[in-house]
Chains A and B, each alone.
Chain A
Amino acid sequence: MDILKFITAGSVDDGKSTLIGRLLYDSDSILADQLEALQTSNRKNDDGSIDLAILTDGLKAEREQGITIDVAYKYFQTEKRKFIIADTPGHIQYTRNMVTGASNANLAIILIDARKGVIEQTIRHSFLVSLLGIQQVVVCINKMDMVDFSEASYQQIVAAYQELALKVGLKNVHYIPVSALKGDNIVHNSLNMSWYKGESLLPFLETIEISVDDSKDQARFPVQWVVRPQTEELHDYRGYAGRVSSGSFKVNDKITVLPSGFTSTISLIEQFENQPNEALAGMSVTIHLKDEIDISRGDILANSAFLPHVSKHIGADLCWMDTRQLDTSLTYFIQHNSKVTRCKIQEVLYKVNINTLEKEYTEEFKLNDIGRVVIKTAEPLAFDLYQDNKANGGAIIIDSRNNLTIAALMFRSVAD
């Protein structure tokens, strides 16, 4: 059994919380006391049924205002898969929350109200899903009950979305007509839409394949911690602890330490008491090398035959997440995997109007703005382009005054 992480993009009005509530409810993932809390709550649907949206509304402030202000994580499990949902708000002022949720998702559900079709927010959500490089997209055309379960309405929206997908560069797009409120095509096949021959949402989520690149050309290992017991019996023990961020490493692989450029050979891979011959993407291991070289936290080991870029000048997509706007005169911290150094945003190339996808040429970068910049770092980073390798292609910017995470960066080019 594996884990599928997905986000749901849409607003309260599209029935997003209801959709998640329905997935949990119909897959028997709600426990008795949670159900009791639901039933005693005074929020009900017009027909008196339980308002499933309450299941995903976490905070007091949100319940009072009936909105989602943050990323909420929900867990459920079927016999086939475990699921982690990052439930993020859909309004434009919460773009940063959606970017955060999307950064760890393998799949995105984009909700469209069947009565409204592709609207401004659909364009925005689709752009963000593409920007963050989410592998699979499923477009749920919701509220089909409000358009008499009409196939023509569905087909019209699919056609409009296909055009949008092309424009924002989304591949692997799937379409399902649903009614989250009534439960059509969520867990069970809809009796109201016999014209739809595809899978319902849950069976689809249970079986969609998520590929992981374990090839050695992507082998990246950010060193987190050096294990040095320095006891009498383990006097010479020196292991580099970390998690393979992408690709795979084998014993006897030639590796290069970056940014220093020293090379060595893997002599041993340890996983607690086991000594596997190979470490795959996602595994937390301790790597030993044949040569004694100076390696510390922040360094990256890579397969010597397939090196990442090493540079201090990088072109990147930037999503600004702070209420204080970007200041090109300031020095910020940048954190790329376990490496932290200082950086400046040297130049703003353009900003994207995420509702129309048009480029705007302006220096102003405010909360939720997204665009292309060039950064300069104090120390060189060993990185891949985000489109080639997400795990080694993203970074965050930290405000050195208040330590807040204020931006997400996706590396797009070497800017030397």
Chain B
Amino acid sequence: MSFDYLDELEAEAIYILREVAGQFEKPALLFSGGKDSITLVRLAEKAFRPGKFPFPLVHIDTGHNFVETIEYRDDMIKRIGEKLIIGHVQDSIDEGKVVEQKGKNASRNALQTVTLLDTIAKYQFDACIGGARRDEEKARAKERIFSVRDEFGQWDPKRQRPELWNIFNGKIHKGENVRVFPISNWTELDVWNYIRREKITLPSIYFAHERDCITRNGQLMAASPFLNMDEEDVIERKNVRFRTVGDMTCTAAVESYAYQIDDIIDEISASKISERGARMDDKVSEAAMEDRKKGGYF
């Protein structure tokens, strides 16, 4: 029987998901509609079927999502028959907890941290499973698989628990929660190879399509009502796809003719821009991700 690296990564992720089920009272799976969290759903099916998932899916909806993502999410929930909880950033804005950013580069991406923390508090989640990977960014390269957050949702890189062998310490005090990253050890290419092997369907925006775009700070952005545009912004029809699925205002497109998953894998293998390079939110400073993580961002 052959047991290759995808089998090994899959077995590890399933092991981690089952540890969450075994160690926590009220876990949740944070679902963004992106390929990494879609992969997590597949892994959860493998970990718990024919039983139900021992956790609901939670989507923090900025209200600025791609339509395709929301359609995909709703179809998927129907197919798997699991519970979905939606936290709306719009609610946080209406309640006056956050203020909408102004200006040309305004995005709701930063605001979702507050909605996430409120949703965690409201449902008293003690563990939140996420699809972050260590190869995405250098601050993530140092994060544990079980990553404890204090009651303010903060990550303290200097107080991380040592993680030895396959033993995960999920003990926490009331009010704290643990972020759990089952695919920490996967790379972007591993995720794509797994999606291909498992024949997992994805939101259509991952594949090449025609779209109205504008160029901003050297990046292609989808033209949308959510993006503050002015007369300097020139709308061009481009053949593009998205490498990550986030808020429409901060997720850049890449020009691409990759219509099939095989094309995408070829494209990534040859690519010289890493995945987070297509995220405007990391470009602010060299320590951008580390600062956001400390503040409770996923």
Q: Which residues of A are at the interface with B, using a C-beta cutoff of 8 A?
A: 1-3, 31-34, 37, 41, 57-61, 63, 69-75, 77, 82, 84, 96-97, 99-100, 103-104, 224-225, 227-229, 234, 237, 241-243, 245, 271-272, 276, 278, 280, 282-284, 297, 321, 333, 335-338, 390-391, 394-396, 398, 403-405, 408
Contacts and interface: CB of A to CB of B under 8 A. Distances in A.
Contacts of A32: 272-274, 277
Contacts of B157: 59, 61, 70
B24 to A, nearest CB: 12
Interface in B126-143: 134-135, 138-139, 141-142
B15 A224 contact: yes
Given A1-B4, A241-B47, A75 B134 contact: yes
A308 to B, nearest CB: 16
B133 to A, nearest CB: 9
A72 B142 contact: yes
A69 B3 contact: no
B164 A99 contact: yes
A84 B165 contact: no
Contacts of B139: 58-59
B50 A408 contact: no
A41 to B, nearest CB: 8
Interface stretch (B6-14, B113-121, B230-238): B6-14
A245 B166 CA distance: 9
Given A75-B134, A284-B10, A403-B172, A396 B164 contact: yes
B21 interface: yes
Nearest to B291: A60
A405 B134 contact: no
A31 B273 contact: yes
A73 B160 CA distance: 14
B167 A297 contact: no
Contacts of A234: 50
Contacts of A403: 169, 171-173
B164 A60 contact: no
Contacts of A337: 166-167
8 contacts: A34-B274, A57-B138, A73-B185, A75-B134, A225-B22, A272-B45, A283-B7, A405-B162
A82 B14 contact: no
B197 interface: no
A77 B187 contact: yes
B162 A282 contact: no
Nearest to B50: A229
A58 B142 CA distance: 7
B195 to A, nearest CB: 16
